[in-house]
Amino acid sequence: MIKTISILIISISIIALIYSLNMDVTVYTALGRSVNNIGLIAQRQIFIIVGCTLLIIGVLAYIAAIFIGNSYRGVEICPACVEKVKATAVVCKHCGHNLDKSRRQVLIHGVDVLNIIDRNGDVNTENLDALSRLMLDGMAEHTPLAILVSYHPELEKIKSVHGIEYSNRFEYLIEKNIARLKGGKSGNNH
Ligand SMILES: [Zn+2]
């Protein structure tokens, strides 16, 4: 918006300057001679001054628009108060919400992956079972690997947040557990 207006002002000022510089300031006397007219020269000066002023205003507005645009880049929405915060902020400046924690949280079916394997590497088998069942739900016909692959975006986030070692361990545990659950199911059916 500001950018568009500033470009408009710059365009008008350039047109005014071109017009004033090409302005004919001569008049013909009764004798047919052309002479410079002081009034027209003064008018041309006003045009040039106004044109230059508009050009400066336009350029400054354009620079300001770029700066404002940049300050809005890298902005995120705080999940707690829905206010704008910097993408790199650790704590929300509006409500004090810990953004670092929520950013580093990876949820699958609403389950924080740290509820499956904690930071110490300890596995909570109960939670592992619960999540495996949620992942298996509606996908019982698929292989454990295919089920896992369908969670590709979440697995990529686990890799980026918790590291490749953690991600590999998580995938291994989930795949093995889904295979075990599937095995148990088909075993019951026979
Ligand atoms: Zn907030």
Contact residues for 154 (Cβ-Cβ < 8 A; gap 6+): 106, 107, 108
166 C-alpha to center of ligand 1: Å?
30
- Ligand 1 centre distance from Cα of residue 76 (Å): 10
Q: Note whether 158 and 170 are within 8 A (CB).
A: yes
- Taking residues 10-37, report their average pLDDT: 86
CA of 98 to the centre of ligand 1 (A): 8
- pLDDT 10s digits, 128-187: 999 999 999 999 899 999 999 999 999 998 988 888 999 999 999 999 999 999 987 554
Please tell me the distance between residue 2's alpha carbon and the centre of ligand 1 in angstroms: 28
Q: Quote the ligand 1 centre to 93 CA distance (angstroms).
A: 7
Place of tokens 């969670």: 151
Dist. CA 71 → ligand 1 center (Å): 18
pLDDT confidence tier of residue 190, bands split at 50, 70 and 90:
very low
The pTM score is: 0.48
